Amino acid sequence: MENGWVNFSCENGIGTIEFGHPQSNSLPYAILQSLAQHIMEADHNPSVKVIILSSSGTKTFCAGASFDELCSIENAEEGLTFFSGFAKVINACRKAQKLIIGRIQGKAVGGGVGVASATDYCFATQQADVKLSELAVGIGPFVVGPAVERKIGLSAMSELAINATEWRSAQWAKDKGLYAEVYGSVEEMDEAIRRLANRLSLSNVEAMMELKTIFWKGTEHWDELLIERAKISGRLVLSDFTRDAINAFKTK
């Protein structure tokens, strides 16, 4: 459990995937790999009609890439492997034929914003502020960028990417299109998720699959694109600037 976990459950056609990590639900490569695998398995599970993607706890949704693992990367190949984990999660969401509901109970940082952006319909609480912090540590949101840009547009994504130390509110994220609905409490959000998931579990599966195909049209090249982006991040993470910046964040 100290290295994180990914759990799956299914009830009444609703498949729920939950990930967690003691360090604010950060994402080491093993969790990214497992999360992508769980998404693919849920998509191929005939008992699952709709998927909910969530994280554990009541505070942070996801703190993004694991700083401990970033600091351990020693060469460009290891960097590519690590950042390709985010590519795998985003592409698993993109390729899934079933609709994915995002449950964002708290703040989302970096890769966490990317995961939220890869869902098809995203619920959040008023505490679910967002930040793309990568540039602040000398990298950049290269892998998650296409998913974020697809959801909120180039202008809003650029705002997040350039002003990398400032939070944007959940209402800002809703206004830009990342969140579909924002609630005052986790309980209210979960009730709204339950209502939608139940309705979708009784909907025409083929119609939902066709909708999903239309929603993601134009992203067919992302298998190659996201790996190319992962190479950029994998190279930049080796810089002295990035190592010093990450270590400074860790000691705060």
pLDDT in tens, the chain (252 residues): 678 999 999 999 999 999 999 999 999 999 999 999 999 999 999 999 999 999 999 899 999 999 989 989 999 999 999 999 999 999 999 999 999 999 999 999 999 999 999 999 999 999 999 999 999 999 999 999 999 999 999 999 999 999 999 999 999 999 999 999 999 999 999 999 999 999 999 999 999 999 999 999 999 999 999 999 999 999 999 999 998 898 887 776
Structure tokens given for 170: 């959940």
- Residue 120 CA to residue 130 CA, distance in Å, equals 18
In this structure, the number of other CB atoms found within 10 A of the CB of residue 199 comes to 10
CB half-sphere exposure, 60, CA atoms < 13 A? 18
Nearest partner of 118 among 100, 137, 134, judged by Cα: 100
99: closest CA among 201, 252, 208? 208
Domain 5-186 in this protein, CATH class: alpha beta
Q: What pLDDT is recorded for position 192? A: 98
Q: What is the domain partition of the chain in residue ranges?
A: 5-186
Please tell me the predicted confidence (pLDDT) of residue 246. Answer: 87
